Amino acid sequence: MSVLDKRGAGPGHPLPGQSSDAPGDTVPGGTGQGAGRTTRTRQRTGRRGLTLALNAVSVALGIAVWWLLASAGFKLPTPPEVVSRAGTLIGDGTLGTDALASLTRVLIGFALGTAVAIPVGFLMGWYGILRGLIEPWIQFFRTIPPLAILPLAVVAMGIDETPKIFVIFLAAFLACVISTFQGVVSVDRTLIDAARVLGAKDLTIFARVVVPASTPFILVGMRVGLGSAWATLVAAELIAAQEGLGYRMQNAQLYYDLPTIFVGLISIGILGLLMDRILLLAERRLTRWQERR
């Protein structure tokens, strides 16, 4: 518990994330905080159920529109054709091998980019001198798409996994470092000053005030960085790759194999969506104190 939490909490000042229900805040079937929490739990469960139902309806409508467009003469494979091709690729192990190769590249590049971006963002936001030294380079490289650096990376690093992972790392890093930096500089100055008045040292303020307040920004930056990593992956796999979803799609393009291209697109979308949902779950767990709609 932070300095502010210890000294600021009281009967009239609940901690972030705690209920402020007064004894008079009652609902039928219960009284006080317990009944209030039960009601809020039911409301959250109901909202999640509605969201899942809407997601299912949206997916069904999307597939229906896709099928109609394919039936209307557009050069699109029908959903059954894509399912059939996916079954073939799964059966011979091709899809699993490609998905594993792509997922490994994304995870390594994304993890490295995030691991470097978070401390760099904190240092930029906390120390003005480091901000002045680092920020121009961050802004400079942000204007250069990671894909534009890919040819240079191939020449400098060879044609193995290193240049592919490097450009993915760069995409994730640039997206996350700015968000982390913005989170640090956006911390309410009043909280920092109050902690200093209560006797907290810089390390305590950083760990107990700045880091928790910056966490939502960091997680948003990670989600953006994850999307950038997947977007960069496909182009990275077009160069000297022997396996991967991007490589398989490029190879299918040469033979006008639209079902295989669709299988690759859908696989990337599903993997990216699952990883994003994991980050979203982590965000909800780590920022329970934050009010949500």
Per-residue pLDDT band for 9 (boundaries 50, 70, 90) equals: very low
| 79-102 confidence digits (pLDDT tens) | 899 999 999 999 999 999 999 999
130 and 36 assigned to the same domain = no
Q: How many independent structural domains does the chain possess?
A: 2
Q: How far is CA 224 from CA 189, 193, 217, 228, 235, in A?
A: 27, 32, 11, 6, 18
Contact 82/266 with Cβ under 8 angstroms?
A: yes
**How much of the chain, in percent, has pLDDT values that exceed 90?**
24
Any domain includes 7? no
126 and 242 assigned to the same domain = yes
Residues in the chain: 293
| 123 DSSP β-pair partners | none
28 and 81 assigned to the same domain = no
114 and 138 assigned to the same domain = yes
71 and 84 assigned to the same domain = no
| 175-209 confidence digits (pLDDT tens) | 899 999 988 888 888 888 888 888 888 788 888 88
57 and 82 assigned to the same domain = no
CATH of the domain at 271: 1.10.3720.10
37 and 84 assigned to the same domain = no
Q: Name the domain boundary from 75, 98, 117.
A: 75
Any domain includes 92? yes
Q: What is the b/e burial string over 256-275, where b = at least 16 CB atoms within 10 angstroms of the residue's CB?
A: ebbbbbbbbeebbeebbeeb
Any domain includes 42? yes
Domain encompassing residue 64: 20-75
Measured between alpha carbons, how far is 232 from 225 in angstroms, rounded to an integer?
Answer: 10
pTM: 0.75
Any domain includes 6? no
Any domain includes 177? yes
